[in-house]
Amino acid sequence: MDYKPVIIDALRVLEARDRADKKPFSVRAYATVLRHLEAHPAPIRSLAEIPVFQGVGEKIKKKMEEIVETGRLEAAEKAKADYPLEALALFGGIYGIGPVKARELVEMGLRTLTDLRVELHMRPDLLHEKQKAGLFYYEDLVERIPREEMREHELLLQGIAQVPMTIVGSYRRGAETSGDVDVLLRVPSAWTAAEGASYLHKFVRALETAGYMEYVLALGEKKCMGIARLPAQNKARRVDFLITPEHEYACALLYFTGSDMFNVAFRQHALQKGYTLNEHIMTPIGDAPAPPPFHTEQDIFRFLSLQYVEPSKRVEGAISGDAQSRPAGAAGLVSVCSTNTPLSLGISKRVLIKRPKVVYP
């Protein structure tokens, strides 16, 4: 018998358990071995056929041995019994609900959205207002937005913004569907924070008046997160607006265009050149010279001696392989001066711990 599918299932359960328990290093270890196992071409029918993977420790190896010897993994059986993983994932997928709250709901015996809605009816303080909005809009918000609809958001917003704006994220990368509408609003560098905030508040008010913005989740000086709906559409969508002064615009455009994997590889490359990079600014480390002002993304690539990568090519750093090894795919960063040596980190999406999307001001 080939135990590989049993091993994969059991390790997936443990990965999910440790994600629920917020153990990122352990999650990463399971993700690594799972990636290797999924790519492993041969069956695993005996102890001798258990493959040795680089970076996979003794503990996980023992678990694979237990499965080959007994046909099951006790820790995974126990995890399945203790952790209703589907319910945890369901509740954790509601906007505003993190792993701790999801766990609390599951421990109360709740398993489905209906359970949660009924319980909330009896105990209105079970969720705070934003979580309630997340639950209310859940069915709409889990759906991805078709590109044609994204274009309609763009047209509507351009008509109201009164400052240059760009929809970034997956839309700018040319994706056929997007999870949300990420918008950068470019304002003059001379504006004070108060002027920026005043503009943002007026803009959001105008979106409400237009019947577009339906629920404001968070509104700060520079950022607004909300739930909006196009006039003729029946689905509510997540929208994020970010005020960016002109002198930070290139860095913001690069960062929020992503993808997140591309950003990781890009920042790593900047570090090698002696700079840290975030969504606002590039900063020299030690005695590296100060960078010039960046007006465009191309300026940033050029400064770091990289060939420009079109947004549509900014996909994962490289699809698989260990952090040190694999060369980049089409999206790999290519150094202009080092005879086209790919510089991607070769980080797989699975090992990347995404920062949580939900941010409360």
Contact track, ligand TTP, 42-81, x by CB under 6 A = ----------------------------------------
In the list 32, 131, 170, 344, the residue contacting ligand TTP (rule: CB under 6 A) is 170
Classify each residue of 322-356 as buried b or exposed e, where b means 16 or more C-beta atoms within 10 Å of its C-beta. beeebebbebbbbbeeeeeebbbbbbbbebbeeee
178 is a site residue for ligand TTP (CB under 6 A)? yes
Listed ranges 132-140, 147-155, 255-263, 322-330: which one lies at the site for ligand TTP (CB under 6 A): 255-263
Listed ranges 126-134, 174-182, 202-210, 338-346: which one lies at the site for Mg ion (CB under 5 A): 174-182
Neighbours of 185 (CB within 10 A): 22
Listed ranges 165-173, 207-215, 304-312, 322-330: which one lies at the site for Mg ion (CB under 5 A): 165-173
Q: Cβ of residue 171: shortest distance to Mg ion, in angstroms? A: 7
Amino acid in position 285: I
**Which partner from the list Mg ion, ligand TTP, none does 166 bind, CB cut-off 5 to 8 Å by kind?**
none
DSSP string, 188-216: -TT--HHHHHHHHHHHHHHHHHTT-EEEE
- Residue count, binding to Mg ion (CB under 5 A): 4
Selected catalytic residue, list 23, 63, 101, 132: 63
**Which partner from the list ligand TTP, Mg ion, none does 357 bind, CB cut-off 5 to 8 Å by kind?**
ligand TTP
In the list 20, 92, 157, 182, the residue contacting Mg ion (rule: CB under 5 A) is 182
Q: How far apart are CA 136 and CA 117, in angstroms?
A: 9
C-alpha angle with apex 115: 216 to 140, nearest 5 degrees? Answer: 35
Is the separation of the CB atoms in 45 and 1 below 8 Å? Answer: yes
Q: Cβ of residue 62: shortest distance to ligand TTP, in angstroms? A: 33
Q: Cβ of residue 100: shortest distance to ligand TTP, in angstroms? A: 19
Give the H/E segment covering residue 283: strand 282-284
Nearer to ligand TTP, 317 or 342 (CB): 317
Amino acid in position 112: T
Q: How far apart are CA 300 and CA 282, in angstroms?
A: 9
18 is a site residue for Mg ion (CB under 5 A)? no
At 172 the three-state DSSP class reads helix
- Residue count, binding to ligand TTP (CB under 6 A): 16
Q: How far apart are CA 42 and CA 51, in angstroms?
A: 9
Residues in contact with 201: Cβ distance below 8 Å, sequence separation at least 6, in sequence order: 219
**Which partner from the list ligand TTP, Mg ion, none does 354 bind, CB cut-off 5 to 8 Å by kind?**
ligand TTP
The token duo for 264 is 């990781």
Q: Which residues bind Mg ion (CB under 5 A)?
A: 169, 179-180, 182
Please give the positions annotated as active site: 63
Site residues (vs ligand TTP, CB under 6 A):
169-170, 175, 178-180, 182, 255-256, 258-260, 263, 354-355, 357
